[in-house]
Amino acid sequence: MLNKAQKILEQFFGYSSFRAGQKTVIENLLHGHHTLATMPTGGGKSLCYQIPGLVLDGTALIISPLISLMKDQVDSLLTLGISATYINSSLESKEQIERLKQLKAGAFKFVYVAPERFESYEFIEALQAIKISLIAFDEAHCISQWGHDFRPSYRSIVPNLRKLRQQPVKVALTATATGEVIADIQELLHIHPKHLVNTGFARENLHFHLEKGVNKEDFLLNYVRSHPKESGIIYAPTRKITDRIYQLFVDKGIQTARYHAGLAESERQLAQELFIRDEAPLMVATNAFGMGIDKSNVRYVIHYSLPMNIEAYYQEAGRAGRDGEPSDCYLLFSAQDIQLQKFLIEQSQMNEEKKEREYAKLQDMANYAYTRRCLQRYILDYFGDEKGEENCGRCSNCCQEGELKDLTKEAQMILSCVKRMGERFGVSLTAKVLKGSKNQKVLEFGFQNLSTYNLLPHLTEKDITNRINYLVADGYLSIQDAKFPTLKLTPLAYDVLTGKAEVWVKVKANEAAKDASHNEELFDILRGLRKQIATKKNLPPYLIFSDVSLKQMAQVLPAH
Ligand code: ADP
Ligand code: MG
Ligand code: ZN
pLDDT of amino acid 560: 34
**Residue 403 Cα, ligand 2 centroid: separation in angstroms?**
41
The atom of ligand 1 lying closest to the CA of 45 is 3
Q: Is the distance from the beta carbon of residue 42 to the nearest atom of ligand 1 less than 6 Å?
A: yes
The atom of ligand 1 lying closest to the CA of 138 is 2
Q: Is the distance from the beta carbon of residue 186 to the nearest atom of ligand 1 less than 6 Å?
A: no
Q: Is the distance from the beta carbon of residue 318 to the nearest atom of ligand 1 less than 6 Å?
A: no
Q: Is the distance from the beta carbon of residue 43 to the nearest atom of ligand 1 less than 6 Å?
A: yes
pLDDT of amino acid 531: 55
Q: Is the distance from the beta carbon of residue 140 to the nearest atom of ligand 1 less than 6 Å?
A: no
Note the pTM of the prediction, 2 decimals.
0.79
134 vs 56: CA distance, rounded Å: 8
Give how far Cα 410 sits from Cα of 136, 390, 464, 477, 488, Å: 53, 26, 9, 14, 17
**Residue 399 Cα, ligand 1 centroid: separation in angstroms?**
29
Q: Is ipTM > 0.85 here?
A: yes
Helix boundaries (H) for 80-112? 93-104
Write the DSSP symbol of residue 235: E
Q: Which of these, 350, 340, 363, lies nearest to 481 by C-alpha position? A: 363
Q: Which of these, 29, 385, 374, lies nearest to 199 by C-alpha position? A: 385
214 vs 370: CA distance, rounded Å: 15
The atom of ligand 1 lying closest to the CA of 16 is 24
Residues ≥6 apart with Cβ < 8 Å to 101: none
pLDDT of amino acid 482: 65
Q: Which of these, 125, 127, 119, lies nearest to 61 by C-alpha position? A: 127
pLDDT of amino acid 291: 75
Q: Which residue puts its alpha carbon closest to atom 26 of ligand 1?
A: 15
By the 8 A CB rule, do 108 and 59 touch? yes
pLDDT of amino acid 524: 53
Beta bridge partners, 134, equal 60, 169
Q: In this structure, is the dihedral angle defined by the CA atoms of residues 140, 145, 151 and 156, taken in order, positive or negative?
A: positive
Ligand nearest to the CA of 296: 1
The atom of ligand 1 lying closest to the CA of 17 is 23
Q: Which residue puts its alpha carbon closest to atom 19 of ligand 1?
A: 44
**Residue 69 Cα, ligand 2 centroid: separation in angstroms?**
9
pLDDT of amino acid 509: 63
Q: Is the distance from the beta carbon of residue 38 to the nearest atom of ligand 1 less than 6 Å?
A: no
122 vs 113: CA distance, rounded Å: 14
Residues ≥6 apart with Cβ < 8 Å to 125: 104
Ligand nearest to the CA of 318: 1
340-344: long-range contacts, CB 8 A cutoff, minimum separation 24: 340/237, 340/238, 340/305, 340/306, 341/237, 341/306, 341/307, 341/308, 341/365, 342/483, 344/237, 344/238, 344/308
Please list, residue by residue across 450-459, b when 16 or more beta carbons sit within 10 angstroms of its beta carbon and e when fewer do.
Answer: bbebebbebb
pLDDT of amino acid 376: 97
Q: Which of these, 142, 131, 206, lies nearest to 173 by C-alpha position? A: 142
| Run means of pLDDT, 10 residues per run, the chain, 560 residues | 91 92 97 96 93 96 87 91 94 94 96 93 93 95 81 85 90 91 94 95 95 93 94 96 97 95 94 93 94 86 96 94 94 90 88 90 93 94 87 93 85 91 92 90 87 83 91 90 83 89 79 49 52 49 37 42
- Crossing angle of helices 352-370 and 310-317, in 10° steps, is 60
Q: Which of 13, 68, 77, 201 to mutate to test the pocket of ligand 1 (most atoms within 8 A of CB)?
A: 13
Q: What is the DSSP string of 38-69?
A: E--TTS-HHHHHHHHHHHSSSEEEEE-S-HHH
Q: Which of these, 518, 411, 417, 517, lies nearest to 473 by C-alpha position? A: 411
pLDDT of amino acid 545: 33
Residues ≥6 apart with Cβ < 8 Å to 439: 432
